[in-house]
Structures are given as structure tokens and as C-alpha cells.
């Protein structure tokens, strides 16, 4: 039996998390099929054909899938699900929204957010905001799995001309209708894909003060993130949130500014290669995970840091 990986993409390009999910699938040592469902997404299909380690691409190009409505995508996946023993997707907003709908219809208990594959039925995943790691064995015949992308290095893209099979779309579910989308335009990299992330916490004191981080981010080509406390305080939108209930990041460099280091935040960034903490409270828990700590007022440190970069 083989593995179906559901590609996350934007109808133009594959999202990076798809390549991490494929990397997790590779560890199961079974044949891998990549499903690309979208609308006018031929460029994604071509890109998918070069993904290493896959043996087939299934393509469905239909306006029904333009906005990746979970009700419609899950109905599509269910038409082919029984050919597979694993159905996998990234544990991103896309995968989290979609996968449980498939899992419930298959009467399978999904395993969410895996960070390692121990055997063909046993997986590790964080629980309690990453305070503990659970090792879980699945006894369902079709295993539905979401993958934490930062835990697996992306596969390469050096395959060529993998076979593409086109399948038919399923009629729209009809009860959910796409109205609109506002995607923030930014020249900066996406949080989960950035090599450098600079995040602010409650210590930033206001949303306006985030411009101090923005100008450093511009110099470093970094993405800007925030702690849950900063989001709760209304300084920045929720899609800035790094943490167990937000985004999980693992950049080469993570700079935490005015962030105390609550467990829920650490769960979202502690796999970063190098962590810098800037905080005026020398007892802040963030310093226990930081490679480089600077104890001092961020309103003095940030302009100085920007000037020295």
C-alpha cells in the first residue's frame, strides 16, 4: 500500500511545506503519489513533476478547487482515498482545515502535527503546547497524518517528468461559498519560509513600535513575527503569531525582542538554529533557550542594532 500526499499550493507554485511533508512520507519507504488539486494550476503540476521520490502526480484542474474549500477538497480526496494506506498533508492552516474532514469520513483517527516517524504505525508529536512529546501508535488501516514542516528537511526537486494522471472533479458541496480574500502584500519572506525571523512580544508596548522590528527585518531580509501576548494585546494581526497555537518556525536565526518566553511561544521557535533574546528582564525564561542574550531596554537596543547591521 502506498502514500497520498496532498499538495499545498496557490495555483501558481507549490508551497514549501509540501516538500517537507513529502520528506516525512519518504521515511515510510513506500510509493508516494502527490495530489495537486486546484484551478488553472498547470504550473504547479509541472513543478510537482520534479519532486524527488514521488512516483506519480494526480492532477485535478477545476474551478471548484480554486479557493481550496475543505468541503470540496475532502470530497475529492475521498474518491481516491481507499487506494492508499497513508494520507498526508502539511500541518499548516490549509492542512489543519482539510485533513480532519477526510479522516472522519474514513472513520480514522488522524494523527496531527507529527515531528518524527518511528515505524510505519508509530509517530511522535508534541502535546500540551510542546511541553511534552507523545509517542503514538495508530491502529487505523488508513492513517491520516498532518506533518509539522519544520521537523523534516524539504526533499529535492531534481526528478524529471513524473507521470501525471488526470482525474475528474467532484460536484461542489454547495453549502460553503468563497466570498473574498485579503492577503497582506509584503516584500518580506513568509514567516514559515524565512531564514531569519525577528519577533516582538508584549515588551514592544504598542503596534506602532513594531516599525522598529520592520526596519531591522528589511535590512536582514527577515520576516516579522510576534508572541501570542503581542497578538492578544492587539499590537499585530494573528497571522504574525509564532507559537503552538500560531505558526511553527525554525529559521537559521530567530531574534526574540521583548518576549518573556512562555512555553507556548517556545513551542513555535525552539528548533531555530540560532536564537537571540533581547529583554530587560534578566530572569525571563527566553534566556534559557537563547544562544545569545542581551539584557537591556529594547527601545535602546533596536535602533543601535539597526545602525550596526
Q: Nearer to other proteins by C-beta: 49 or 227?
A: 227
Asked if 187 is part of the footprint of other proteins (rule: CB under 8 A), the reply reads no
Cell of 265: 511561544
Q: Scan residues 229-248 and list those touching other proteins (CB under 8 A).
A: 231-232, 234, 237-239, 241, 244-245, 247
Asked if 224 is part of the footprint of other proteins (rule: CB under 8 A), the reply reads no
Q: Nearer to other proteins by C-beta: 6 or 98?
A: 98
CB of 163 to other proteins, least distance (A): 30
Q: Strand pairing partners for 36? A: 59
Q: DSSP label at 28?
A: T
Which of 25, 88, 98, 248 touches other proteins by CB under 8 A? 98
Cell of 201: 512580544
Element (H, E) at 87: strand 84-90
Asked if 33 is part of the footprint of other proteins (rule: CB under 8 A), the reply reads no
Which of 12, 13, 63, 131 touches other proteins by CB under 8 A? 131
Stretch touching other proteins by CB under 8 A, among 18-26, 39-47, 87-95, 163-171? 87-95
Q: How many residues bind other proteins (CB under 8 A)?
A: 91
Sheet holding 56-61, edge to edge: 111-114, 143-147, 84-90, 2-6, 32-38, 56-61, 164-166
- Close Cβ partners of 281 (under 8 Å, ≥ 6 residues apart): 260, 295
What gap in Å lies between CA 232 and CA 241, rounded to an integer? 10
CB atoms within 10 A of CB 70: 18
Q: Which residue has the cell 519532486?
A: 51
Which of 1, 29, 83, 127 touches other proteins by CB under 8 A? 127
Asked if 79 is part of the footprint of other proteins (rule: CB under 8 A), the reply reads no
Indicate the length of the chain as a whole number.
309
Asked if 128 is part of the footprint of other proteins (rule: CB under 8 A), the reply reads yes
Asked if 32 is part of the footprint of other proteins (rule: CB under 8 A), the reply reads no
CB of 193 to other proteins, least distance (A): 10
Asked if 257 is part of the footprint of other proteins (rule: CB under 8 A), the reply reads no
Identify whether the C-beta of residue 172 lies closer than 8 Å to the C-beta of residue 228. Answer: no
Asked if 258 is part of the footprint of other proteins (rule: CB under 8 A), the reply reads no
Q: Nearer to other proteins by C-beta: 21 or 241?
A: 241
Q: Scan residues 57-76 and list those touching other proteins (CB under 8 A).
A: 67, 69-71, 74
Identify whether the C-beta of residue 180 lies closer than 8 Å to the C-beta of residue 252. Answer: no
Asked if 283 is part of the footprint of other proteins (rule: CB under 8 A), the reply reads no
Cell of 72: 470540496
Amino acid at each position: 500500500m502506498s502514500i497520498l500526499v496532498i499538495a499545498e499550493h496557490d495555483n501558481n507554485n507549490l508551497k514549501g511545506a509540501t516538500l517537507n511533508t513529502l520528506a516525512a512520507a519518504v521515511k515510510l519507504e513506500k510509493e508516494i503519489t502527490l495530489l495537486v488539486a486546484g484551478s488553472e494550476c498547470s504550473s504547479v503540476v509541472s513543478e510537482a513533476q520534479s519532486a524527488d521520490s514521488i512516483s506519480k502526480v494526480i492532477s485535478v484542474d477545476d474551478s471548484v478547487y480554486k479557493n481550496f474549500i475543505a468541503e470540496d477538497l475532502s470530497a475529492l480526496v475521498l474518491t481516491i482515498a481507499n487506494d492508499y494506506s497513508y494520507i498526508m498533508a502539511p500541518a499548516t492552516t490549509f492542512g489543519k482545515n482539510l485533513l480532519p474532514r477526510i479522516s472522519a469520513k474514513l472513520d480514522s483517527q488522524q494523527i496531527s502535527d507529527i515531528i518524527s516517524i518511528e515505524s510505519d504505525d508509530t509517530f511522535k508529536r508534541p502535546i500540551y503546547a510542546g511541553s511534552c512529546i507523545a509517542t503514538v501508535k495508530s491502529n487505523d488501516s488508513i492513517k491520516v497524518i498532518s506533518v509539522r514542516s519544520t521537523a523534516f528537511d524539504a526533499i529535492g526537486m531534481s526528478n524529471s517528468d513524473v507521470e501525471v494522471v488526470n482525474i475528474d472533479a467532484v460536484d461542489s458541496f454547495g453549502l460553503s461559498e468563497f466570498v473574498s480574500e485579503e492577503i497582506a502584500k509584503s516584500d518580506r519572506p513568509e514567516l514559515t519560509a524565512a531564514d531569519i525571523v525577528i519577533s516582538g512580544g508584549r515588551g514592544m508596548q504598542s503596534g506602532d513600535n513594531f516599525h522598529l522590528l520592520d526596519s531591522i527585518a528589511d535590512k536582514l531580509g527577515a520576516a516579522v513575527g510576534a508572541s501570542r501576548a503581542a497578538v492578544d494585546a492587539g499590537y499585530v494581526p494573528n497571522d504574525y503569531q509564532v507559537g503552538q497555537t500560531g505558526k511553527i518556525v525554525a529559521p537559521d536565526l530567530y531574534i526574540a525582542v521583548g518576549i518573556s518566553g512562555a512555553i507556548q511561544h517556545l513551542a513555535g521557535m525552539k528548533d531555530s538554529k540560532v536564537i537571540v533574546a533581547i529583554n530587560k528582564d534578566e530572569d525571563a525564561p527566553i534566556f534559557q533557550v537563547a544562544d545569545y542574550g542581551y539584557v537591556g531596554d529594547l527601545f535602546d537596543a533596536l535602533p543601535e542594532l539597526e545602525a550596526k547591521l
